[in-house]
Amino acid sequence: AFSRDSQPNHWRFSLAHAATLALNAAGVFEVAGGDHCTASDPVHFYSFRAEGQTGRFATLVWLEPAPA
């Protein structure tokens, strides 16, 4: 879930990758989403640390019943 950044001694953390690993360890293998990067996609996501402005966004998680 961690990867090196282009700057020395800087790291990036993928919450989507970490969540996928945790779900896989719990036996959940059909995981969708996580295709956007909040750090490098300012069109879709706010970053107060990067841009000095703020906003809101949410993540939704749900389980669908298995087909009968």
Average pLDDT, the chain: 82
The predicted pLDDT at position 23 comes to 92
Q: For residue 11, what are the β-bridge partners?
A: 4
How is the chain split into domains, by residue range?
2-51
Q: For residue 12, what are the β-bridge partners?
A: 3
SS3 category, 65 = coil
Q: Give this prediction's pTM.
A: 0.57
3-32 confidence digits (pLDDT tens): 787 888 888 888 888 999 999 999 999 888
Question: What region, left, alpha or beta, does residue 9 occupy, with left being phi > 0 and alpha being psi -120 to 50 degrees?
Answer: left
The predicted pLDDT at position 43 comes to 82
